[in-house]
Structure 1
Amino acid sequence: MSKGAGSRYIYSFSQWRKKTDPADSWDVDDAVITPEDEEVEDAEFTEGEATPKVSKKKVVKVEENRSKREHVNVVFIGHVDAGKSTIGGQIMSLTGMVDKRTLEKYEREAREKSRESWYLSWALDTNQEERDKGKTVEVGRAFFETDRKHFTILDAPGHKSFVPNMIGGAAQADLAVLVISARKGEFETGFDRGGQTREHAMLAKTAGVKHLVVLVNKMDDPTVNWDQTRYNECKDKILPYLKKLGFNPAKDLTFMPCSGLSGYGLKDQIPETLCPWYRGPAFIPFIDELPSLNRKSDGPFIMPIVDKYKDMGTVVMGKVESGTARKGQNLLVMPNRTQVAVDQLFSDDFEVTSVGPGENVKIKLKGIEEEDVSPGFVLCDAANPIKTGKIFDAQVVILEHKSIICAGYSAVMHIHCAAEEVTVKALICLVDKKSGDKSKTRPRFVKQDQVAIMRIECSGMICLEQFKLFPQMGRFTLRDENKTIAIGKVLKVVE
């Protein structure tokens, strides 16, 4: 063969080894061959019998690689345009999760569309429609890490048409951040009836979020200019409502001023020249210092499925509520009782060999087609599957409903990640809010602000548990005509 331009790279492996200087081609780490290395698959190149077989792949011992930091899921909630996505994008920028060049590109593109102030939110609002309208529709996901914790950001949509999506986001959260805008007029719109601030705070409480941080955003707006009176006015208006929901101001409620666009008050304390009256901690250090959450790592594995997609197999997403799962383990998808095997595990985009409670994960499954999985199904331990049922008894609090509710009334129930149409089969008794006493007679109807125990029937089989045994799978909300009308907890599943 002539030594043409094309052939000058064709050497056999042994010639190539002679031609290259060993010092250039081998890394010190590669040179150390451990007994485990010798058992690896052979190198792709073998030339006759003379050349010894060389292990080319660097071997990763199959040891437990699992995220060491504590996982905390943070959902950003609040009225449309309060600045949730911008704060999320700014946090990612400050913690180095989005590089500078990407942000500069977003800024350029946003400027071309005369939307300069939106560029940070594009780190979380990734699809074109969300960017064009400046409205989040799906729950955006991202993560950042501190020395002690791994935070997953869930950026919930603020628009009232997308509340069902927001409920799915809140169901996965441990910590909620209610963003309110201090700009003149914007706070009032969000907080008055019809605004989303109230409904979102209530849904977060129902979803079982333990701690609520209220970020008073847009404090750098010309109408506010870091004014303490305006900050206190927003705080004083919203506090009674949050107390009524059951948040305790001493333990599980914190207020902070900040500016999402400039980043003040998120990672570092606000400069004293701007805001001499607030000398409390900034947002990221504060959530980093919050006490650890008690997770059920010893129970059976349970993960409600939030979303699924196809990628060389079926991938399901969700938050692990209890127990652990390993690569290769056999699990069940309920309520259909489909047996599956775990092919790959990802915890926030990093491949791991096992996952535990609190982690936001993607699991690639063998043995099930993507169309056979729906959001609201639950991936669980094969030996100890979760309860399923169609009929259950629940204690329900009617929050706002113009007319009365009696047997035969139907609504949409949101329980963990599932949304299912339900009908009230029978009203069992009324419960006195103050004393907890139950009425002796069956009520004919219930109305706003009353608490009742009722029997509910679902249109299909769903996964649920008694609230007292497993709160995450036993609390629900009822919605009708785009409004949340009631919240409740499962008392007993009628199998």
Structure 2
Amino acid sequence: MEALNLNVENTSSKKVTKLPPKISPKHKRINVLEEYKKRNDNKVALNLVVVGHVDAGKSTLMGHLLYLLGEVNEKTMKKYERDSSKIGKSSFAYAWILDETGEERARGITMDIAITKFETEHRRFTLLDAPGHRDFIPNMISGAAQADVAILVIDSTTGEFEAGFEANGQTKEHALLVRSLGVQQLVVTINKLDVVGWSQDRFNEIITKLSPFLNQAGFKKDKVIYIPCSGLTGENLLKRSQNILEWYSGPTLFQQIDKFEPPIRLLDKPFRLSVSDFFKGGISGMGGITVAGKIEAGTIQIGDDVLVIPGGEYGVIKGLEVNDESSKWAAAGDSILMTLSGLDILQLKVGSILCSVSHPVPVTSYILAQIVVFDIKVPITKGFPVILHRQSLNEPATITKLVTILDKSTGEIVKKNPRCLPKASSATVEIKLTNRPVPFETYKENKELGRIMLRKGGETIAAGIIINVSIL
């Protein structure tokens, strides 16, 4: 995605006429940038998403790691073991640490994003366990959009890797999605190697097949690390497995994720937060409306006023929680809860943007996007209906014009006004939202909000960046 041509003009924002409420004088202003530096001098905060084909063992692997790290006590673990045995699913005990709902446990699959926290020596993680089943890909996109780094879990058992990697499997789609959403660092765990006798040949076979695909998807070779492990037995998660000492001298999963590099945060940009959830009532019993989401850009503190787009309603920040702890401030990269006063809950939707009052996000039904077409069966033509995803937002839309086909390496125009877009092509297209105008920003203005995903018929057909916004 980084190679796409971003030489476009800046767009201006729609004027907001309603005056915001005055900031409360009770709150002393904080130098958020100084506080942010102090916090990150200790441990860098990262959002980690775990993805992979259904039944690859994602929840079991990460649940077992959390148990080994002491995030789950013995009493709770014993209860999970007893309860899972009662329904004939004893091997799911570690997965239950993350799969909390009755339906998830009964079906043995993750259906929504499970969020938890843990720390390594140098990093503080918010863990996002994404569903692998194709029916829940929209939930997976919503979670992956919050991620800085990712773990791709591969089932190494005979036939299972092939099922996930080939036609209709989610391994390829998940890898493409996380890369399209901006993730550049990837740990690939070759899971369930205990089932195939800790076979080095099987480990190498999977890498040989997977590596060219990940490279083609945009992952640099030095940013992808392969780790053999077993989520069920716990081998090579925290401590090195004796079963692979003869042929593997690399890090354990725990050691490798501690080496993830921190991303560059957009601290100097205007405040932006994409709403992933909201509810009536405030933090710690205070009144108001509470919003959940990840701050994509800028900083905020208690007493600030924010603008809801679309809608143009204002709210004043009365309370903040960062990493489940009360805070007076928050910054780009933080997944937060924010309590607002003076806001009508009817103005909020999942996918709404909370933004700086002085720098509102443009609202539009028309965008110009540069996309990469995935492995589709039917070429994209003018009038092609799609579902457009941008983080937690998903809206019906139509590709109204095929503008150009581009050279994937140079970004130069190869053909103007093409009749169709075949698989693996790169192109510029015009897109119109079907139902309503929504907030969009160009990739040049905000890399997080400027990425989009296009899906049709339950499959992801393209991903790209917004290069221009038509202001309403």
Q: TM-score range by the shorter chain?
A: 0.7 to 0.9
Report the more deviating stretch, 72-81 or 300-309.
Answer: 300-309
Is the CA contact 2:65–2:237 (under 8 Å) kept in the aligned structure 1? yes
Is the CA contact 2:296–2:449 (under 8 Å) kept in the aligned structure 1? no
Q: Give secondary structure in 2 for the equivalent of 1:220.
A: helix
Report Cα offsets for 1:413-443 as digits up to 9, x if no partner: 1112211111122222222334433256422
Query: Does the C-alpha gap of structure 1 residues 441 and 147 become closer, same or farther in structure 2, counting only changes over 3 Å?
Result: closer
Q: Does 1:72 align with 2:42?
A: no
Q: Give secondary structure in 1 for the equivalent of 2:207.
A: helix
Aligned counterpart, 1:120? 94
Q: Give secondary structure in 1 for the equivalent of 2:381.
A: coil
Q: Give secondary structure in 1 for the equivalent of 2:464.
A: strand
Q: Does 1:364 align with 2:375?
A: no
Q: 1:469 offset after TM fit, Å?
A: 2.5
Is the CA contact 1:139–1:154 (under 8 Å) kept in the aligned structure 2? yes
For residues 322 and 478 of structure 1, what CA distance do their matches in structure 2 show? Answer: 24
Equivalent pairs: percent with the same residue?
36
Aligned length: 430
Aligned counterpart, 1:244? 216
Aligned counterpart, 2:204? 232
Q: Does 1:307 align with 2:277?
A: yes
Report Cα offsets for 1:341-368 as digits up to 9, x if no partner: 1121111211111111212111122222
Give the counterpart letter for 2:289 in structure 1.
T
Q: 1:133 offset after TM fit, Å?
A: 0.4
CA RMSD, 1 decimal? 1.9
Q: Give secondary structure in 2 for the equivalent of 1:129.
A: helix
Structure 2 unaligned regions, length at least 5: 1-29, 283-287
Q: 1:275 offset after TM fit, Å?
A: 3.5
Is the CA contact 2:80–2:96 (under 8 Å) kept in the aligned structure 1? yes
Q: 1:166 offset after TM fit, Å?
A: 0.5
Normalised to the residue count of structure 1, the TM-score between the two structures is: 0.83
For residues 92 and 74 of structure 2, what CA distance do their matches in structure 1 show? Answer: 16
Is the CA contact 1:92–1:143 (under 8 Å) kept in the aligned structure 2? no
Where do 1:156-195 residues align within 5 Å? 156-195=130-169
Report Cα offsets for 1:289-311 as digits up to 9, x if no partner: 23332212222211111122233
Aligned counterpart, 1:39? none
For residues 108 and 344 of structure 2, what CA distance do their matches in structure 1 show? Answer: 35
Give the counterpart letter for 1:173 in structure 2.
A
Is the CA contact 2:149–2:260 (under 8 Å) kept in the aligned structure 1? no
Report the more deviating stretch, 277-286 or 432-441.
Answer: 432-441
For residues 195 and 349 of structure 1, what CA distance do their matches in structure 2 show? Answer: 35
For residues 63 and 126 of structure 1, what CA distance do their matches in structure 2 show? Answer: 39
Q: Give secondary structure in 2 for the equivalent of 1:202.
A: helix
Q: Give secondary structure in 1 for the equivalent of 2:461.
A: strand
Q: Give secondary structure in 1 for the equivalent of 2:135.
A: helix
Aligned counterpart, 1:464? 440
Moved over 6 A (4+): 62-66
Q: 1:100 offset after TM fit, Å?
A: 1.7
Aligned counterpart, 1:81? 55
Where do 1:370-449 residues align within 5 Å? 370-439=345-414, 441-449=416-424
Structure 1 unaligned regions, length at least 5: 1-61
Is the CA contact 1:467–1:489 (under 8 Å) kept in the aligned structure 2? yes
Aligned counterpart, 2:309? 334
Report Cα offsets for 1:430-480 as digits up to 9, x if no partner: 223344332564223323232221211112222221112221111111100
For residues 92 and 378 of structure 2, what CA distance do their matches in structure 1 show? Answer: 42
Paired residue for 1:98, among 72, 79, 85? Answer: 72
Give the counterpart letter for 1:230 in structure 2.
R
Report the more deviating stretch, 457-466 or 190-199.
Answer: 457-466
Flag the structure with larger Rg.
1
For residues 435 and 211 of structure 1, what CA distance do their matches in structure 2 show? Answer: 24
Report Cα offsets for 1:140-159 as digits up to 9, x if no partner: 10010124221011000000
For residues 214 and 277 of structure 1, what CA distance do their matches in structure 2 show? Answer: 18
Is the CA contact 1:86–1:261 (under 8 Å) kept in the aligned structure 2? yes
Query: Does the C-alpha gap of structure 1 residues 129 and 347 become closer, same or farther in structure 2, counting only changes over 3 Å?
Result: same
Report Cα offsets for 1:307-349 as digits up to 9, x if no partner: 2223343222111112111122111111222101112111121
Is the CA contact 2:317–2:339 (under 8 Å) kept in the aligned structure 1? yes
Q: Give secondary structure in 1 for the equivalent of 2:263.
A: coil
Is the CA contact 2:46–2:262 (under 8 Å) kept in the aligned structure 1? no
Q: Does 1:476 align with 2:448?
A: no
Report the more deviating stretch, 346-355 or 165-174.
Answer: 346-355
For residues 371 and 101 of structure 1, what CA distance do their matches in structure 2 show? Answer: 43
Give the counterpart letter for 2:364 in structure 1.
G
Where do 1:133-144 residues align within 5 Å? 133-144=107-118
Give the counterpart letter for 2:239 in structure 1.
D
